[in-house]
Amino acid sequence: MGLTSNKVLALAAFLAVVLFVATVLLWPRLAGRDWRSVLGRVGLLLVTQLMLFATVGLAANKSFLFYGSWTDLFGQETEMGVVVDHSAAARDLKVVDTQGMDVPGGSKPAVGGQIQKVVITGERSKIASKAYVYLPPEYFRPQYAAQTFPASIVLTGYPGTAENLLKGLRYPRTAHTQAQAGRMQPMILVMLRPTVAPPRDTECVDVPGGPQTETFLAKDVPKAVSESYRVGTKPRNWGVIGNSTGGYCALKFALHHPATFGAGAGLSAYYRAAEDPTTGDLFHGDNGRRKRADLLWSLDHVKPSKTSFLVTSSKEGEGNLRDTVKFIGKVRPPARVSSITLDSGGHNFGTWRREIPAAMEWISGRLRAS
C-alpha cells in the first residue's frame, strides 16, 4: 500500500481508535504503583500518541503531498539505472511507461489524453532525469495528426517529486478541464523536479565543475521534447511554470532564455538563488554568476525581450510580496508582466491549486501551436 493511499490512512486511523479504546479500558488495571503497571501506562500512552501523530501526518501528507512514496519519505532511491547510449543514433528521450487520465473515458488517449513517464538525457549537460509528459486528447485524434502543439515545462519546488505535479497539484487534470471548457488551448506539459542531483539543491544553476542544471532544463529538455513530440522550437511554442524553487527557475529561464521561452510563470517564487547547506557552493567565487542568478539585478542589466512573465503572491501568508512588487516594477517593454495576488495564502499546495487554473489559462494565451 502506497504512502498516499486511502487504505494506509484508514488503517492508521483505525489503529489509533483501537489503541485509544484499549487505553481507556485497560487503565484501571494498570492503576498500581509497581513497575509493571507504570511501564504499562507509559507504553499505552506512547503507542497511542505515536499512532495519532502518524494518522495526522499521513492525512497532512495526503493533502499536501510532501512525500510521494515510502522511498521518498525515507530518502531512498530505488529506481533502476537507465543505460544511456552515446552513439549518434541515440534518442534523448525514452518512454518507459504510460498511464491514462483520471477523467471520464480517461483510459482512451483520444478522450482523456495520456501521461507518459519518460527519461530525458541531456545532450549538452549529460544529466538524465525522470519526467512525466502529458499529451492532450487532441494529440491522438486523426484530424490533428499534422498539427503541432504548444508545450510548457512544469517544475516542482525543492525537494519535491515529479509525482507532486500529477497528484498534489493536478496539472494534467487542470489542463484537461480548462481545455475542454474552452478556457485554454490543448497543451503538452513536461513535468519534472529541478533537483537533478539529489539531495543537492542546485537552484537551476550551471554549477562550475558540477551539475549543469540550467543547461539541462532550459536547453536540453526543450530540444529532446521537440524532437520526440509534435512541438515547435520557437519561443512562442514554449512556456515554463513552477512553484517555489520551480517558480524561481521558471522566471529565470524566461528571463535569460528568451530565444527558447515566450512565457514564464512563477507561483510563490523567490527572486535570487538560495545559498545554504542544501545548495553547497553554487558559484565558486564567481560574482558574475551570483548576480546573474539574482532576477531583480538581472532585470536592471539584461536587455528586455518580448517575454511575458506571471508572478503570484498573497497579501497575507507569503514572504515574497515585497520582492514580487519590485519584480513587477522592474519589467521593461517590450516584456510584459502580469500578477495574481491573493488576499491570503501560504507557501503550500492549497494556495497553488487556487492559482494554477488562472496561470494555465494565462500561459496558454501567450503561446502558439506553430
On whether both 99 and 236 belong to a single domain, the answer is yes
- Structural domain harbouring 34: 6-64
Give the helix/strand (H/E) hosting 37: helix 35-64
Q: Please, which residues have CB within 8 angstroms of residue 33's CB and are 6 or more apart in sequence? A: none
Give the helix/strand (H/E) hosting 121: strand 114-121
On whether both 104 and 55 belong to a single domain, the answer is no
Pairing of strands 151-155, 263-267: unpaired
Residue 243 lies in a domain: yes
Per-residue pLDDT of 147-189, as tens digits, reads 999 999 999 999 889 999 998 999 999 999 999 999 999 999 9
On whether both 124 and 217 belong to a single domain, the answer is yes
Residue 201 lies in a domain: yes
> Residue 368: left if φ>0, alpha if ψ -120 to 50, beta else—which one?
beta
Q: Give, in order, the Cα–Cα distances in Å from 299 to each of 1, 196, 255.
A: 48, 27, 8
Residue 1 lies in a domain: no
Distance CA 296, CA 278 (A): 23
The total of structural domains in the chain comes to: 2
Dig out the grid coordinates for 346 from the structure: 501560504
On whether both 42 and 132 belong to a single domain, the answer is no
Say if CB 4 and CB 64 are below 8 A apart. no
How many of the other CB atoms lie within 10 Å of CB of 131? Answer: 22
pTM of the model: 0.79
Longest dimension (CA), the chain: 82
Dig out the grid coordinates for 218 from the structure: 532550459
Residue 75 lies in a domain: no
User: Per this entry, what is the length of the chain?
Assistant: 370
How many of the other CB atoms lie within 10 Å of CB of 183? Answer: 14
On whether both 261 and 298 belong to a single domain, the answer is yes
> ∠ at Cα 265 (264, 266), nearest 5°?
125
- Per DSSP, what are the bridge partners of residue 121? 128
Per-residue pLDDT of 353-362, as tens digits, reads 999 999 999 9
Of the candidates 113, 359, 119, the one whose C-alpha atom is nearest the C-alpha of residue 247 is 359
Residue 143 lies in a domain: yes
Residue 39 lies in a domain: yes
Q: What is the pLDDT along the chain (370 residues), one digit of tens a residue?
A: 666 677 888 888 888 888 888 888 888 877 777 888 788 888 888 888 888 888 888 877 766 556 666 666 665 544 444 444 444 334 689 999 999 998 888 899 999 999 999 999 999 999 999 999 999 999 999 999 999 999 999 999 998 899 999 989 999 999 999 999 999 999 999 999 999 999 999 999 999 999 999 999 999 999 999 999 999 999 999 999 999 999 999 999 999 999 999 999 999 999 999 999 999 999 999 999 999 999 999 999 999 999 999 999 999 999 999 999 999 999 999 999 999 999 999 999 999 999 999 999 999 999 999 8
* CATH value at residue 332: 3.40.50.1820
> Residue 154: left if φ>0, alpha if ψ -120 to 50, beta else—which one?
beta
| pLDDT in the model for residue 88 | 38
How many of the other CB atoms lie within 10 Å of CB of 266? Answer: 32
Say if CB 221 and CB 183 are below 8 A apart. no
Residue 134 lies in a domain: yes
Residue 45 lies in a domain: yes
- At CB < 8 A and 24+ separation, what contacts does 99-107 make? 101/172, 101/173, 101/176, 102/173, 103/173, 103/176, 103/177
| pLDDT in the model for residue 172 | 97
Distance CA 91, CA 120 (A): 9
On whether both 207 and 296 belong to a single domain, the answer is yes
